[in-house]
Amino acid sequence: MLLTPRMDQTGAPYSIPEIMQSIKGVSAHRINKLLRRQGPVWQQESFDHVPRRAQSVNVRVEYVRQNPVRRGLANKPEEYRWLWVKPGLR
């Protein structure tokens, strides 16, 4: 996942741990509800990296786009229904 943190009420960006906790919490709840189970869904750890240059961002966007292709889930990134890339980042 690539994202740009939003700003909180004070104008400071939300931290990566805050963002990941929110994403993992909401999605784990929904996954467990759908599967009619309880318990952890995600690993505790996440790996983050802050790209400093546009070229670095483009390389990472392309890496994420190609993940479904590498795993055999699609022949090309555009065929994978769960992939969304902000227009202009490809």
Report which of 71, 66, 14 is spatially closest to residue 85, judged by C-alpha positions: 66
Spell out the domain ranges in the chain: 1-48, 50-90
- pLDDT reading at 84 higher than 90: no
Q: What is the CA radius of gyration of the chain?
A: 16
For tokens 């990941």, what's the residue? 20
For 38-74, write each residue's pLDDT tens digit: 999 998 877 777 787 877 888 889 999 999 999 999 9
The pLDDT assigned to 47 comes to: 75
Residue 49 to residue 62: CA distance in whole angstroms: 16
Q: Enter the pTM of the model.
A: 0.67
